[in-house]
């Protein structure tokens, strides 16, 4: 089915930009020079246009390639080439890292039913990614279920082999979400002789619907389904009765092992022993174009990378036909009418950049560092940004090279279980791992019913690495400084920070909300609709350009840039002993 592309209506654009300019003025006054360069041409719509242009490019790629940009497809290959070319043009040292990953394809919808009821695919149950094909009819046995569900997540059903003590081999195991990865539950069930595995949602208000889950690889021999909580509770209730239900489970899937790619781009210069890595995932799910998940993170970081580079995007590759910037002192051309020949996105041309020299006396890179890029890298020096240009022109000064080395990473196969970031981390030599100073993750920044989530702390099973609290504080200090509320959310391992945390690198990042419903309290705090998902198009075909909040992009994008600049210029590392 074709995916509709969208462009903002001019009236809506003007309204959004007016609000954005007001926000940026608050940023400049409240947070000081840390935000200089957020809009390097002027404190206007420059970056909004840049980010939106990248989103439009990703949408076009999906439209031209079957409606998605998922791993192993022409849409993903085109996404890789688009990002690679932009970064090469911007002067980055770019590596395309190719590796093989297991790929899962659902050939036919799953089947689940018994004498009383036939359940609906995608509504009541779903095939878990990497489940093998199978056709099983057997009794259902509940495994360490907590029913009714407790008020807060507390399940560890199926997480230990001991949970299956007395389990009848050849039965279908019914386990409850929570406490450990799905792979552990399925592995323990298979080891106990289960003929199939059903993983029901846990049952709290935001954990009831059928969910998408991955088994991280094709190691299993038995079919595995994810269930709506009510479906699982219904089966569990019947299984506890005198007549255990005999249930039919069937899946038809395919697994193979294609090549995919990560993109790793280094800005020349900065301390080689302190590497600030900033990441987003480049792949979508097969169901849609993935413009919020995670085109929003990709576009935000790609725009930032171009503006922090010595040469920017280059006159031949400005988004959507943006013309080269006029020389310093040239008159600013009037904005053409929308749709005019040569106009930029939404009918706006760029404004002139400053030609002022960098501030004298900038600190030199430490001995042994790679050659620093020329002025214009876009990273603030230690102690703040360069002085504002004279005359109140509103034009950002040319920035100076970073103190620390800056790296942008765009990972593949995240939607299959963080496989791109896992491969990247696993193949880093020990000495390179030791140089990683911090990892900042930006996965979904434009949810239409958004909130401002800041990653903070881990869990008992997966504690946050030492130094991660300092990363959280950089984000929360930013929101405090600009008068925006925020909500902390645990580092639960669902995105690409997980492999970095696993080797002790301090991690953090931002998130605008996914498939969970926004509560009344959250709606009162942030606005939006209570009882509706933060992103109602999460992992669906409707995750298009229309599924983006410009305000969320602006607010979380400003916080992302603040953090990148902070750590690029930091004199001390949050990583203990570095």
Catalytic residue set: 414
Identify the H or E element spanning 246: strand 246-256
Residue showing tokens 């020949």: 341
Extract the tokens encoding 512: 């605008």
Identify the H or E element spanning 412: none
* CA atoms within a 13 Å half-sphere pointing along the CA-CB vector of 484: 27
What sign has the CA pseudo-torsion 557, 275, 315, 332?
Answer: positive
Extract the tokens encoding 309: 């580079």
* Distance between CA atoms of residues 35 and 37, nearest Å: 6
- Say which residues have a Cβ less than 8 Å from residue 240's Cβ, sequence separation at least 6: 142
- Which region, left, alpha or beta, applies to residue 181 given φ > 0 means left and ψ of -120 to 50 means alpha? beta
SS3 of 250-298: EEEEEEECCEEEEEEEEECCCEEEEEEEEEEECCECCCCCCHHHHHHHH
Long-range contact pairs involving 32-36 (C-beta distance under 8 Å, separation at least 24):
32/384, 33/380, 33/384, 33/385, 33/388, 34/380, 34/384, 34/385, 34/562, 34/565, 34/566, 35/558, 35/561, 35/562, 36/380, 36/385, 36/386, 36/388, 36/396, 36/397
Q: What is the CB neighbour count within 10 angstroms for residue 493?
A: 16
Closest CA to 424 of 127, 432, 416, 82: 432
- Say which residues have a Cβ less than 8 Å from residue 449's Cβ, sequence separation at least 6: 513, 518, 528, 529, 532, 533, 534, 535, 536, 549
Extract the tokens encoding 42: 């002027």
Interstrand relation of 172-176 and 134-142 (parallel, antiparallel or unpaired): parallel
Q: What is the CB neighbour count within 10 angstroms for residue 497?
A: 29
Is the separation of the CB atoms in 495 and 418 below 8 Å? Answer: yes
Main-chain dihedrals φ then ψ at residue 205, nearest 5 degrees: -50, -35
* Distance between CA atoms of residues 458 and 518, nearest Å: 22
Main-chain dihedrals φ then ψ at residue 315, nearest 5 degrees: -65, -25
CA 500, distance to chain mean position in Å, is: 15
Main-chain dihedrals φ then ψ at residue 564, nearest 5 degrees: -60, -45
* Distance between CA atoms of residues 546 and 8, nearest Å: 9
């Amino acid at each position: 089915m074709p995916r509709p592309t969208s462009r903002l209506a001019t009236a809506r654009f003007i309204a959004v930009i007016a609000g954005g300019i007001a926000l940026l003025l608050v940023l400049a006054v409240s947070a000081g020079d840390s935000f200089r360069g957020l809009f390097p041409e002027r404190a206007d719509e420059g970056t909004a246009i840049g980010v939106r242009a990248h989103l439009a490019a990703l949408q076009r790629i999906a439209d031209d390639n079957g409606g998605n940009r998922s791993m192993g497809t022409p849409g993903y290959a085109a996404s890789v080439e688009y990002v690679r070319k932009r970064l090469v043009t911007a002067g980055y040292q770019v590596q395309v890292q190719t590796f093989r990953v297991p790929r899962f394809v659902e050939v036919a919808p799953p089947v689940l039913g018994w004498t009383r009821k036939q359940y609906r695919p995608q509504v009541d149950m779903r095939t878990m990614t990497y489940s093998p094909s199978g056709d099983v009819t057997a009794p259902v046995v509940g495994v360490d279920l907590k029913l009714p569900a407790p008020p807060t997540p507390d399940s560890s059903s199926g997480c230990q082999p001991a949970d299956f003590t007395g389990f009848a081999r050849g039965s279908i195991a019914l386990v409850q979400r929570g406490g450990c990865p799905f792979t552990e539950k399925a592995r323990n069930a298979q080891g106990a002789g289960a003929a199939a595995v059903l993983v029901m949602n846990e049952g709290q208000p935001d954990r009831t619907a059928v969910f998408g889950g991955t088994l991280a690889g094709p190691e299993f021999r038995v079919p595995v389904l994810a269930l709506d909580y009510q479906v699982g509770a219904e089966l569990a209730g019947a299984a506890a009765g005198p007549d255990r239900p005999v249930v039919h489970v069937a899946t038809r899937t395919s697994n193979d092992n294609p090549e995919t790619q990560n993109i790793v781009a280094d800005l020349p210069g900065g301390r080689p022993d302190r590497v600030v890595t900033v990441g987003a995932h480049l792949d979508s799910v097969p169901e849609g174009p993935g413009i919020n998940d995670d085109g929003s993170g990709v576009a935000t970081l790609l725009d930032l990378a171009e503006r922090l580079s010595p040469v920017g995007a280059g006159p031949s590759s400005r988004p959507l036909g943006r013309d080269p910037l006029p020389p310093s002192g040239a008159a600013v051309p009037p904005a053409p009418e929308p749709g005019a020949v040569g106009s930029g996105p939404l009918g706006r041309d760029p404004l002139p950049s400053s030609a002022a020299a960098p501030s004298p006396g900038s600190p030199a890179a430490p001995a042994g560092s790679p050659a620093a890029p020329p002025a214009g890298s876009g990273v603030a020096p230690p102690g703040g940004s360069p002085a504002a240009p004279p005359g109140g022109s509103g034009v950002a000064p040319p920035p100076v090279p970073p103190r620390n080395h800056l790296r942008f990473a765009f990972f593949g196969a995240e939607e299959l279980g963080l496989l791109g970031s896992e491969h990247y981390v696993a193949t880093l030599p020990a000495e390179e791992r030791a140089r990683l100073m911090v990892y900042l993750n930006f996965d979904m920044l434009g949810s239409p019913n958004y909130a401002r989530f800041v990653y903070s702390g881990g869990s008992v099973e997966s504690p946050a690495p030492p130094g991660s609290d300092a990363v959280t504080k950089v984000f929360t200090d930013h929101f405090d400084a600009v008068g925006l509320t925020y909500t902390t959310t645990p580092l639960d391992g669902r995105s690409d920070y997980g492999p970095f945390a696993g080797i002790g690198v301090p991690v953090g990042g931002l998130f605008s909300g996914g498939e969970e419903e926004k509560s009344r309290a959250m709606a009162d705090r942030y606005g939006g609709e209570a009882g509706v998902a933060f992103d109602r198009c999460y992992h669906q075909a409707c995750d298009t350009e229309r599924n983006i909040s410009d305000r969320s992009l602006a607010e979380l994008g400003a916080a992302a840039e603040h953090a990148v600049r902070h750590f690029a210029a930091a004199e001390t590392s949050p990583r203990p002993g570095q």
